[in-house]
Chain A
Amino acid sequence: DADVTQTPRNRITKTGKRIMLECSQTKGHDRMYWYRQDPGLGLRLIYYSFDVKDINKGEISDGYSVSRQAQAKFSLSLESAIPNQTALYFCATRAGGPLYEQYFGPGTRLTVT
């Protein structure tokens, strides 16, 4: 589903570097989410946003920050990357309301050495 895109798709970076992961969507949804996926831990919510002026911390926000530049764009930053932030990162969007389906991006595989 090309409606939710993520860049880059793969990234290798070094400890201490700043890195930004970007997410764009063309579905017109207000709600956007960032998750990380780790083997055996499933998906854990990092940050979410219900509109441009609404940013909320998720379960594991420490070490991350986000920016909602526009309704369609939601960026995740690692200010100073560390090896245990090596993971697969997913962006997702949803229309309003808990019954609506979340649409996921293809994921960004981040490796911090």
Chain B
Amino acid sequence: AQRVTQPEKLLSVFKGAPVELKCNYSYSGSPELFWYVQYSRQRLQLLLRHISRESIKGFTADLNKGETSFHLKKPFAQEEDSAMYYCALTARQLTFGSGTQLTVLP
């Protein structure tokens, strides 16, 4: 069975500080991992996917198969980054973690 764990329900950081949102997964195969974001009053949208090894809005995420983690990082948080973030793993269907509400304080 596939499972995604986001241990932090809430995370607050000050503007300009680094931020890391944790994600751990369990999956017997080779995982495909994503981060989705939901800004206030907006629908969920894809932030980034591990296979693209891209940086979106300053966020990056590295897949660590040894630690089965896919943590999302940004070196300097901005107030507009405040949102709900979901880590997700896909095989036949997408499985989401429980989400982390990030608040960036001024």
A: which residues have CB within 8 A of B?
A: 1, 4, 33, 35, 40-45, 48, 56, 58, 90, 92, 94, 98-99, 101-102, 104-107
**Inter-chain contact total with CB atoms closer than 8 Å:** 52
Q: Does B70 belong to the interface (CB within 8 Å)?
A: no
Instruction: Give 14 A-B pairs besides A1-B45, A104-B45 with Cβ atoms closer than 8 angstroms.
Output: A1-B43, A33-B93, A35-B96, A42-B6, A42-B86, A42-B97, A42-B99, A43-B44, A43-B86, A45-B94, A58-B93, A98-B91, A102-B36, A102-B46
Q: What count of chain B residues pass the 8 Å CB interface test?
A: 22
B69 within 8 A of A: no
Known: A99-B32, A101-B46, A102-B46. A48 touches B9 (CB 8 A): no
Which B residues lie within 8 Å of A101 (CB)? 34, 46, 49
List B residues at the A interface (Cβ < 8 Å).
6, 9, 32, 34, 36, 43-46, 49, 51, 86, 90-99
What's the least CB distance linking B35 to chain A, in Å?
12
A42, B3: Cα distance in complex, Å: 12
Of the candidates A33, A42, A58, A92, the one having the most CB atoms from chain B within 10 angstroms of its own CB is: A42
Tell whether A42 pairs with B98 under 8 Å between CB atoms, given A90-B43, A101-B46, A104-B45: yes
Alpha-carbon distance between A107 and B99 when the two chains are bound, in angstroms: 17
Residues from chain B with a CB closer than 8 A to the CB of A33 are: 93-94
Q: B91–A90 contact, CB under 8 A?
A: no
Q: Is the CB of A43 within 8 A of B93?
A: no
With a cutoff of 8 Å between Cβ atoms, the chain A residues found around residue B86 in the complex are 42-43
Contacts of B94 in A (CB 8 A): 33, 45, 92, 94, 102
Complex Cα distance, B42 from A1, in Å, reads 10
How far does the alpha carbon of A44 sit from the alpha carbon of B96 in the complex, in Å? 7
